[in-house]
Amino acid sequence: MHRHYHLDHATLMTDGSIVGHLVAFAVPLLLGNLFQQFYNTADSLIVGNFLGSEALAAVSSTNSIIQLLIGFFNGVAMGAGVVISRHYGARDIGRVQEAIHTMLAFGIASGLLLTFIGVTFSPTLLRLMQTPESVLPQSIAYFRTYYLGSLAFVLYNICMGILQAVGDSRHPLMYLVISSIINIFLDLLFVGVFHWGVASAAAATAISQLVSMSMCLIRLMHSDRDYRVNLRKIRFNLGALREILQNGLPAGFANCIISFANVVVQSNINFFGPAAMAGCGAHSRIDGFAFQPITAFNMALTTFISQNLGAGLYDRVKKCVRVGLTCVVCLSEAIALLIFIFSPTLISLFDRSPDVIAFGVMHERAITPFYFLLAFSHAMAAVFRGAGKSTVPMIVMALCWCVIRVPYVSIITKIFPVLPAVSSSYPVTWLLSTIVFIIFYFKSDWMHSYDRKAKAHA
């Protein structure tokens, strides 16, 4: 039997304007995500301008594999956020506390494991990606240094997820602004002034992640709200862990699937040499910025839907889905148009080499017109995750973005050994996932199955 505590209704999304809640929650998330992406991109900007194309290629070659390993643990954290939001919406703070402290214990164990994997197996992983020997030593140095900060990165994302699950997206924004400024300053100092090489750029990122994690954790520890963290309570609760993993493992595997498919695509890009690696790497950084509005609305969707389903407000959930999908599709195409027009200028921010710009623009203009398909798929994934149906996006993404994308890119590059053939693997598989998500949304009883699942845990 769980005790029920007083809740701060200011963080609940179960009444009031749907659009108002989504925008109020998404805007700080957007700004925070932009700052996070900015300090990740600062590595590439500063490395490309101070150390040259090969150093930029070394940093770019690690991006997909970094996202592969970290994406899994972030997906599990996302599942924890859904559990916390559901119990928070149902006003059951006893279970909120269990989920929070169990997730922190999981984060500590995961961060240590991730550090070991990244530091120990970096040469093997990068060689499997066919990273050219000319950039391999720098790639290994960047990869290993980045993963020394894994514990801070994982715990920050968990703490941020806890705050977002209870409707607080403003404090994570404040912490990201501070850590972004620190990261950029250290990048310029380590790379531009001291000339310590690519590993120092990764060190700057790790230090800034440690700062943001510390501020976020301190906020939770000193909060007077019902989601306060007590370090002595950090331990595994088997019931909470089971519920978190049921929601989080599918999201984690989905992230791994996406990242694995991108690793295969990156391996095919590597075939075209350092200039293609640098150009496409620059695009991936730009893409990271461009997709942040979509990511912010999707995170708002997940939290909103989870809280409202926890409270049994089904009509409100349906309206939220319509508003969220409209917003992300319109936003994605507006952003895509800007990138398409200004792609040469954007790529040149990272590297002014004509070959690098040519490869980057070619890749960018083959992908950006189809952003609306990617945005729609991610929004539908957010809807199902918020409803506790995280296996749905996992299966759809595994099918469309891995099982189909991997052989597609392998076959198409043999028939047409040019970069646009590699690029086409993205929009083709985004279209397939969009179709599958639409079919499942209208043919399945996803809201009521959530209700039955929620009652089983009561």
- Kindly report the pTM of this predicted structure: 0.68
At residue 261's C-alpha, the angle toward residues 256 and 262, to 5°, is: 95
**Taking all residues of the chain, what is their mean pLDDT, rounded to a whole number?**
82
- Helix and strand tally (H, E) in the chain? 18, 0
Confidence of residue 96 (pLDDT cuts 50, 70, 90): confident
Query: Region 66-75: what's the mean pLDDT?
Result: 72
- Matching residue, tokens 């009444």: 15
So what's the pLDDT on residue 298? 86
- Render pLDDT for 294-350 as a digit per residue (tens, 0 to 9): 888 888 888 888 878 877 778 888 888 888 898 889 989 999 999 999 989 988 888
Confidence of residue 375 (pLDDT cuts 50, 70, 90): very high
Chain mean position to CA 5: 32
CA distance 136 to 140: 6
Residue 353 vs residues 165, 228, 329: alpha-carbon distances, Å: 44, 51, 34
CB neighbour list of residue 36: distance below 8 Å, 6 or more residues apart: 176, 180
So what's the pLDDT on residue 195? 86
- Render pLDDT for 19-47 as a digit per residue (tens, 0 to 9): 777 777 778 777 777 776 666 667 777 88
The DSSP letter of residue 370 is G
- Matching residue, tokens 């050219």: 132
Query: Region 365-389: what's the mean pLDDT?
Result: 90
Domain coordinates in residue numbering, the chain = 14-457
